[in-house]
Amino acid sequence: MNQIEEFTSDDVLQNNDEVNLAGGYAGIILEPILLPLKPVHLSFPVLIGVGAAGNFSDYTYFSTYMVDDFFWVVEPQAELELNLTRWFRLALYGGYRFTSKLNIEGISATALQNYSAGITIKMGLF
């Protein structure tokens, strides 16, 4: 649960009502990796997918929400990866999430579009 500050309606802010956005997205990740066997290297993952979101103003443990809109998402990133072992990598990433415009009452059409940064742990046979 989050508290979206990008409201499209002044009525929501004046009444001190809390508008929350809930939802999620999923898709496929394509990730070209430059020089993957070097100890430090770059990769460029891109997520391409779809999602659904809805707003609600009253949250309790048993709350449910309705899907108000579906959207597509494209999230390109750049990662600086460090090979720690043959099966363990650590990466620092930065990117931007592009989505189609949302059509949800009380929520900005571009509420989900934003920068992202973080740390990723990757385990497997590389």
Helices assigned H by DSSP within 4-117: 10-14
Long-range contacts of 112-119 (CB under 8 A, 24+ apart): 112/53, 112/71, 112/73, 116/75, 116/77, 117/92, 117/93, 118/92, 118/93, 119/90, 119/91, 119/92, 119/93
Residues 24 and 70 sit within 8 Å (Cβ to Cβ): no
Q: What does each of the 126 residues of the chain score in pLDDT, given as a tens digit?
A: 455 555 455 544 455 567 778 899 999 999 999 999 999 999 999 999 999 998 877 666 666 678 899 999 999 999 999 999 999 999 999 999 999 999 988 888 999 999 999 999 999 987
Predicted local distance difference test score (pLDDT) of residue 63:
63
pTM, to two decimals: 0.76
Predicted local distance difference test score (pLDDT) of residue 12:
46
d(Cα 11, Cα 106) in Å, to the nearest integer? 9
